[in-house]
Amino acid sequence: MPTIQQLKDIASILRKDSILATTSAGSGHPTSCLSCAEIIACLFFSEMRYDIKNPNNLNNDEFILSKGHAVPILYSALIRSGCIKANILDLRKFGSFLEGHPIPNQENPWIKAASGSLGQGLSIGAGISLASKLSERQARTYVLLGDSETTEGSIYEAAQFISHYKLNNLCAIIDINRLGQSNPTMLQHNIKAYESRFKSLGFNAISIDGHDIKQILKAFQESRKSSLPTIILAKTIKGKGVSFLEDREGWHGKALNEELALKAIKEIPNVKMPKFTIKKPAKYHFKESFSLPKKPDYGVTDLIATRKAYGNALAKLADLNENIYALDAEVSNSTFSEFVKNKTPEKFIECYIAEQNMIGVAQGLSIKGMKPFTSTFGAFLTRAHDQLRMAAISNANLTICGSHAGISIGEDGPSQMALEDISLFRSLPNSTIFYPSDAVSTEKLVFTSAKLSGIKYIRTTRSTTPLIYKNDEEFPVGDFKIIQESQKDNIVLAGAGITLHESMKAQIALKKHNIFASLIDIYCIKPFNSIKFIDFVKSHGNKLVITEDHYQEGGIGEMLSHALANTDIKIVHLCVKSLPHSGKKEELLAHYNIDSTAITSGAIALINKEESIQKELVNKIENKPKIKKKAKTKKRK
C-alpha cells in the first residue's frame, strides 16, 4: 500500500504530465486534469484492483472517465501504472492512440467506453456494475464525473436505475471544481445541494475535500462497506497546484504555452515516481460459448407480427445462452421482449422510460462480455441518438430492436411512428440494419444479430403479416431476397416490412396490365450488395419501384438511389413525404401513397413513360430529314 506522501507525489507527477501533454499538443484541458489529480492517484495506485497485463480480466475493477476532456491525466495514470506504453507528449497527435477524448482502440484496451459527450458515463458504469452483480463477481466500478455534466437528465436516469437495482458495487465521484466551460456551474460549490439530491435518490453520499488524500481513501473505504451505491462529492479547485490557474475563469480547454507551462511546473513539487504495487483481482478464465436455437416452427397459414417474432426468438436465445440479456423501456408487452421476462425472468432487465440510460446500460453490459438486446418503440430511440453514436464510436456490441415502425401502426399517430430510425442507424459507423418482413426472417435475423459484433438494428412492425418464407430459409448479411422473378419481367418491385407485402399485391395487379414484375425483399439495408442488386435490376427491365414506410431522407430509397447513381436504371421512390396523421393502417398507406395501388400506379407510369420516350426517339429517327449531298463541281484544269 502506498503511503499518503507517496500518493501526493503521484498526484504531482500526474499534474506535470497533464500540463506537458496539453502544451505539446497545443490544445486540451489541463485545468480539468489538475482538479482531479489526487482522486486519480488514489484510484489507480491504492483503491482499484486490476491486472495490468490483462485489461480483459472480467474481475478487474473498471474505471469510466465520464468527464472525458480530462483524459490526459487518465493516460498519465495508465502509463505510470504500467498498463500501457506510450509517450504522453504524443497526446492528440495524428497517428497517436492518445486521442483528445477517451476512445477504445487496440493500442489502449484500458479505455472501455468513449466519453466526452457529457452525461453518459454513469449509465455505462451502471451496466458494468450490473454485469458484475449478475455474474456474481467481486469487481467494483468507478465513474468520475464533472460537476457541469450533472445538469444532464441522463445522469438522473442512471442514478434512479442504480438505486433501484441496489448497485452497491458502484462508486461515482463528482469532481466539483465549481467552474464550467463558459461560466460557473449551476450549483458551484454548494455541496449540501448535491448531497440532498443524491441522498433523495437512494445513494450513500459522502462529502469530502477532493484534494485531501486521507479523506479520499476513507471515502473509498466507506463505499466498500455500504449497502447502497456510493457517490463521493469531492470539493475541488479547478487548476489546483498552479497559482495563476486556481479557480480562475477563462482557462477551460486552453493549453498553456511553453513559457507558462514551465512556470506552472516550477510550482508543482519535483518528485520521483515512488515504487508501488497494484492490487490484483481474482484470476478469471473466460470461455465464451454460444448456442443457436432450432429453426423456427411457424405454420404456413400463421399471421404473426414481426415484433412478436422478435420476442419469440429472443426468448429462445436467452434460454440457451448465459450472456444474452433483454432490456426494455417499459413497453415489453408491445415489443414482446416480455417473452424473455416470462420464460427466464433473471435474463430480463427493466429500464423503465429512460431510453438514454437503457442504451448506456446495454453498453456497460457488453463491456463485461454480455450480449444485450434492447427494445422500445423505434420512434423513441431518437432521444438516445447521442448514446448510440457514442456506443458506435466505442465499438460496442449491442442489438437494438425498434418496434412500431412507420405509419402502418395506425391510430396512435405521428408521435409514435418511427419514420426517421433507418436514417439514424445508417449514419452510425459500422452499423448493421435489418428490416424483416415476416416471422421467419425476423427470428433468423435475431439469431444472426447475436453472432455479429457492433451496433445492430432490427426494425419491426406492429401489424400481423403472413409468412413469406419457409422455416429453413437463410438470410445472409448484406444480401437481399428474390421473392419472384421470370424471364418476362420488365420492372422490379422492392420493399421491406409492410411495403413488401404491398408490393406483392401490386405484382399481382400489374399482371392485369400485362406488366410482369420481379419482387425483391430488402431485408438487410446496411451493409447492402449494390453490385448484385444493380445486375439484377438491369436484367429485369432496368426499372425499379422502391417503396418504404419511412421518410424520404436517409431511408432505403435514398440508399438505393445513391447506389444506382451512375447507372441508367429508372427509379420511382414511394415513401412518406409529409407529416402523417392518425387513421387506420389501410387509410394511411393509401393516403401517403405507399400501398399496393400506389405501387401499381407508379410501375405503370414508369413503364409508360419509358415506352413513350422510346417511341418518341424512334419517331425522331424515322422522320429525321435527310441531308442532301452537295453536287460535285468539276475542277478547272
Residue 351 near residue 304 (C-beta atoms within 8 A): no
Spatial CA neighbour of 481 closest among 490, 493, 466: 493
Instruction: Give SS3 for 1.
Output: coil
Q: What are the strands of the beta sheet with 324-328, ordered from one edge?
A: 348-350, 324-328, 371-377, 398-403, 455-459, 432-434, 524-526
Spatial CA neighbour of 12 closest among 221, 211, 206, 303: 211
Note if 355 is an active site residue.
Answer: yes
Torsion of Cα atoms, 313 then 314 then 320 then 326, to 10°: 180
Q: Name every residue whose Cβ is closer than 8 Å to that of residue 26 and which is 6 or more positions away in sequence.
A: 92, 255
Residue 425 near residue 418 (C-beta atoms within 8 A): no
Cell match 440508399: residue?
559
261, containing H or E segment = helix 258-267
560, containing H or E segment = helix 556-563
Which listed residue (47, 152, 355, 558) is catalytic? 355
Q: Name every residue whose Cβ is closer than 8 Å to that of residue 569 and which is 6 or more positions away in sequence.
A: 534, 537, 538, 542, 543, 544
Pairing relationship of beta strands 517-521 and 481-484 according to DSSP bridges: antiparallel
Phi, psi of 128 (to 5 degrees): -65, -45
From the DSSP assignment, how many helices (H) and strands (E) are in the chain? 21, 19
CA distance 179 to 185: 5
Angle among Cα 18, 158, 323 to the nearest 5 degrees reads: 95
Buried b / exposed e over 585-622, threshold 16 CB at 10 Å, is beebbbbbbbbbebbbbbbbebbeebeeeeeeeeeeee
Q: In the beta sheet, which residues pair with residue 348? A: 326
Q: Name every residue whose Cβ is closer than 8 Å to that of residue 173 and which is 6 or more positions away in sequence.
A: 39, 142, 143, 144, 145, 231, 232, 234
Cell match 427466464: residue?
344
CA distance 321 to 350: 19
CA distance 347 to 315: 9
Cα–Cα separations (whole angstroms), residue 612 to 49, 572, 605, 616? 76, 17, 10, 6
Residue 547 near residue 578 (C-beta atoms within 8 A): no
Exposed/middle/buried for 151, CB within 10 Å: 0-12, 13-18, 19+? middle
71, containing H or E segment = helix 71-81
Spatial CA neighbour of 527 closest among 379, 627, 417, 428: 428
Spatial CA neighbour of 6 closest among 273, 215, 266: 273
Q: How many CB atoms lie within 10 A of CB 218?
A: 13
Torsion of Cα atoms, 145 then 149 then 151 then 152, to 10°: -100
DSSP string, 286-300: ------PPPPP---T
Catalytic residues: 355
